[in-house]
Structure 1
Amino acid sequence: MQNENFKKGQGAQRNVINRFDRYTYEPEEEDFESVKTSFTEVFPKTIVNQVKSEDLPMEYSMNPYQGCEHGCSYCFARPTHEYWGYSAGIDFERKIMVKKNAPELLEKFFQKRGYQAAPILLSGNTDCYQPAERQFEITRKLLQICLDYRHPVNILTKNALVLRDLDILEPMAEQNLVSVSLSIPTINEELRRKMEPRTSSAPNKLKAIEVLSEHKIPVHVMVAPIIPGLNSDEPLSILKSIADAGASGFGYTLVRLNDTVEPVFVNWIEAHFPDRAQKVLNLIRSMRGGKLGDKRYFERQRGEGNIAEMIHNTFKIGRKKFFEGKEFPKLSTANFTGTRDQQLRLFD
C-alpha cells in the first residue's frame, strides 16, 4: 500500500542534510511542490575524467550534466551534488548543472600530445540522455566529436532518447567506435514508474534495443540495481526480454546505499512501499554485512550472504539460457589519429 503523502514523479521525497554544510535550511514541505527544474551553466576546465576505481573496467568517463532529472532514489551519484553546495535529495533532481563547453574541452583532450586512445564511458555518473539533453544537445555534440576523431565511446543511459542520434551512431558503429548500454532494472511498468519516475518506459527501452540492433549498433543492458524484495524476482524475465530484443550482453549490480543515498532511499521506500519497507531494508543489510552501503572495492559489486548468492546464481542461469555463445564486441582505437576528419561532419 502506498503512502498518500508521497511526492509523485520524483525519487527524493525531501532534501537531506549536506554532509559538508555547517548550517542547513529545510524549506516547508509545500515549497517543494512548486519547485521547477532549473539549469545552471558551469564552466569546467576538463570534461574527461580518469577512472581510478580498481573494480571498474573503464579508463575514462565524461558527464555533460551534473545532477539528474530521472529521479532514481538509489542513484549512487547523488552525494556528488553536495560538493556543489546542494542536497543529494530533491536538489539533485531539480538543480541541474549544464556543461555547454564540453565539446570544446573534448576536442582539446583528443589533441593532447601523446594521448593514447582508450574507450570513454559517456555517463558513468549522471545520465547523458536525461531530459535536459533534448534542450541542450551536448551529448549529441560530444558524439559528433568522437566520430570526427574516430574515437571509441561507450554510452550508458536509461533513456530511449539515444535513438535521436542514430545518424551519428550508425557511422560510428560501422567503424566499431560505439556501443550502447541501456539500464533496465525492471520490466514491470508499475514498479518502473516508482523506481525511476522520469526515465523512458520499459517497453520503450526494449524497443530501443530492437532499433539499435537493427541498425547494427551493439547493445548491452545493465540490469541495475537489483533490490531484494522489489525487483529480485525479475532477472530471468528481463534477460529473456532483452535477448529477444537483440541485446548481445548484460551486466548487473546489487543495490548499495552509500552516504546520503541512504536517507533518500529510506524516505522513498517508506513512502512508496510502507508495508514492506523494513523487509527490503533488512534484506539489503543481509547483503552488506549489516549495513545499507558498502565502499569496499570488489566486495561492493558482489555483496555477501545467501540473498546475494541466490541473485548471482539466477544471473548465471540466465546467462547460460539466453546469452550462451553471444559476445559483446570490443571497440577499436585503431583509427584514432588525434586529428579531425572533416568529411565526417554531419552538422556545424
Structure 2
Amino acid sequence: MKEESIIKGRGAQMNVRNKFLEHSHEMRDDFLEYCRLEGEEADKNKTSYIEVFPKTIVNKVTSPDVGMTYSMNPYQGCEHGCIYCYARNSHEYWGYGAGLDFERKILVKKDAPELLEKKLRSRNWEAKTIVLSGNTDCYQPAEQQYKITRECLKIFLKYKHPVGIITKNALVLRDLDVLRELALLKLVSANISITSLSEETRRVLEPRTATIKRRLKTVEELSLNGIPVNVMIAPIIPGINSHEVLSLAKAARDHGALSIAFTVVRLNGAIGQIFTDWIRKTMPDRADKVLHQIEACHGGHLNDSNYVTRMRGEGKIAEQLHNMMRIAKQRYFSDKQFPEIDGSLYQPQKELLKQQKSGQMRLF
C-alpha cells in the first residue's frame, strides 16, 4: 500500500461497525472522489474530547486473571492508538466504534475526583488497591488539559488510600510531587508498558505514545524517587516484538525497574479485524506470518476468551515465550523484590463515625 494511503498518527486504519447499533456509517468511493476533485479533506483525522457524567467511577474487576480487584478510568477511548489494545471493544458500549473512533473520540469524566472521594467516604468501603488505567491510559494526551488523574492522586493521598498506576506516557513524571508523598507511605506502585526498544516498531504499533527513550527515562525517574516500578512487556506479539524479551528485560533492570511481567497478544472482538487490516497495510511482507503465529498461540484463532489461557497463550510458540521470560527474570531480577502496597493507613468511614460517637450512641 502506498505511504499516502496510511492514516498517519493513528493505529487503526479503519472504523468497524458497532455490533450494538442497527445502523453503520461508511465512507463511499463516490464521496471520496468528490472530495478529491473539490480539493477537500474527506476525513480531518482530528481528536475530539466529549465530556460524560457517569454515576460511579470505581469498577470492581471480576476477571480472575487480570491481577487487580478495583480499577478506575478517568477517560474512555485512548488517543495513544495502540493497535492491539484490548480496551477498544469497550468503546462500543458508549455507541462508538472500536477502530478510529476509539482513538479520536475521547470521553472525559471530569467528575472523577468527586466520585472517587464519594467512594472512599462511603460507609462500607474497605481499602483495596484501586488501579488507575485498568482499561484506558490515565496519562494519555487528554490528561495534559484536564488534569483529572492528578486530582485523583491527591484524593488518594488525602485519604491515605493505596493506588496503582498503569501507563506508557512520560506525563506521569509531572505528578512526582504527589507520587513521592504516596510512596513515602507505601501507597503507590507504577506499571510502565514498554513493548519494544525499536522506535520504528513503536511508531506503527503505538503511534501517539511516549518514545522508548522517554519511557525508559520515566522508569528511571520514578525509581530514583522511591516509586516501585514494574515494566509490562505487554503484549508480546509473535513476529513483531517477541525477539526483544531479553533486551527489554535488561533495559528495564538497568533503568531501575524491580520486576517485569508480560501477556501474549489476543485479538478479541472487533480487534481481530482492525489488527488484520492494520498489519496488511503497515507490514504486508510479514502479515500472514504474524497472524498465523498469533493463531498458533490461541488454538487456531486470533481470539481466546478462556480465563486460563487468554493472556498466557498455549502451544509451542507461547511455551517458548514463557521460557524466554523465565530466563529474563532469572538473569535480571532474581535479586529484586517488589514491595507490597500498604492499605492499613486508610481509616474506613464507619470506624471514623464510631470514634465520633460516644456512650450508647456507639451501638448504632
Match of 1:72 in 2: 82
The equivalences for 1:242-261 within 5 A come to 242-261=252-271
Q: 1:86 and 1:97 mapped to 2: Cα distance?
A: 11
Q: 1:305 and 1:52 mapped to 2: Cα distance?
A: 27
Match of 2:73 in 1: 63
- Decide which of 46, 49, 58 is 2:59's aligned counterpart: 49
**Which secondary structure does the structure 1 equivalent of 2:50 belong to?**
strand
**Which secondary structure does the structure 1 equivalent of 2:242 belong to?**
coil
- Work out which of the two has the higher radius of gyration on C-alpha atoms and give 1 or 2: 2
Kindly state the Cα deviation for residue 192 of structure 1 after the two structures are TM-superposed.
0.5
Q: 2:282 and 2:55 mapped to 1: Cα distance?
A: 40
Kindly state the Cα deviation for residue 5 of structure 1 after the two structures are TM-superposed.
2.1
Match of 2:7 in 1: 7
Q: 2:267 and 2:282 mapped to 1: Cα distance?
A: 17
Q: Can you list the C-alpha shifts for 1:91-118, whole angstroms capped at 9, x where unaligned?
A: 0000000000000000000011121101
Structure 1 counterpart of 2:8, one-letter code: K
Q: 1:98 and 1:90 mapped to 2: Cα distance?
A: 17
Is the Cα contact below 8 Å between 1:3 and 1:274 reproduced in 2?
A: no
**Which secondary structure does the structure 1 equivalent of 2:191 belong to?**
strand
Which structure 1 residue ranges, 5 or more long, are not aligned? 340-348
Percent identity (aligned): 54
Structure 2 counterpart of 1:15, one-letter code: N
Match of 2:172 in 1: 162
**Which secondary structure does the structure 1 equivalent of 2:243 belong to?**
coil
Distance 1:189 1:115, change over 3 A: same
Structure 2 counterpart of 1:63, one-letter code: N
Structure 2 counterpart of 1:69, one-letter code: E
Tell me, yes or no, if structure 1 residue 265 matches structure 2 residue 275. yes
Q: What TM-score, normalized by structure 1, do the two folds share?
A: 0.95
Kindly state the Cα deviation for residue 4 of structure 1 after the two structures are TM-superposed.
5.1
Distance 1:196 1:273, change over 3 A: same
Structure 2 counterpart of 1:83, one-letter code: Y
Runs of 4+ in structure 1 off by over 3 angstroms are: 1-4, 28-33
Is the Cα contact below 8 Å between 1:12 and 1:268 reproduced in 2?
A: yes
Kindly state the Cα deviation for residue 3 of structure 1 after the two structures are TM-superposed.
5.5
Tell me, yes or no, if structure 1 residue 26 matches structure 2 residue 26. yes
Structure 2 counterpart of 1:6, one-letter code: I
Tell me, yes or no, if structure 1 residue 189 matches structure 2 residue 199. yes
- Decide which of 130, 143, 150 is 1:133's aligned counterpart: 143
Match of 1:109 in 2: 119
Q: 1:256 and 1:195 mapped to 2: Cα distance?
A: 15
Structure 1 counterpart of 2:195, one-letter code: P
Structure 1 counterpart of 2:74, one-letter code: P
Tell me, yes or no, if structure 1 residue 120 matches structure 2 residue 141. no
Q: What TM-score, normalized by structure 2, do the two folds share?
A: 0.91
**Which secondary structure does the structure 1 equivalent of 2:311 belong to?**
helix
Is the Cα contact below 8 Å between 1:3 and 1:273 reproduced in 2?
A: no
Kindly state the Cα deviation for residue 27 of structure 1 after the two structures are TM-superposed.
2.8
Is the Cα contact below 8 Å between 2:126 and 2:348 reproduced in 1?
A: no
Structure 2 counterpart of 1:287, one-letter code: C
Q: Can you list the C-alpha shifts for 1:36-87, whole angstroms capped at 9, x where unaligned?
A: 1111110000000000001122110000000000011110000111111111
**Which secondary structure does the structure 2 equivalent of 1:223 belong to?**
strand
Tell me, yes or no, if structure 1 residue 220 matches structure 2 residue 233. no
Supply the RMSD in Å over aligned alpha carbons.
Answer: 1.3
Match of 2:353 in 1: none
Is the Cα contact below 8 Å between 2:154 and 2:178 reproduced in 1?
A: yes
Which structure 2 residue ranges, 5 or more long, are not aligned? 36-40, 350-364
Q: 2:214 and 2:91 mapped to 1: Cα distance?
A: 29
Where relative contact order (Cα < 8 A, 6+ residues apart) is larger, the structure is 1
Match of 2:358 in 1: none
Kindly state the Cα deviation for residue 338 of structure 1 after the two structures are TM-superposed.
4.3
Is the Cα contact below 8 Å between 1:223 and 1:252 reproduced in 2?
A: yes
Match of 2:314 in 1: 304
Q: Can you list the C-alpha shifts for 1:292-348, whole angstroms capped at 9, x where unaligned?
A: 011100211221111100010000000000000211111001110146xxxxxxxxx
Structure 2 counterpart of 1:24, one-letter code: S
**Which secondary structure does the structure 1 equivalent of 2:86 belong to?**
coil
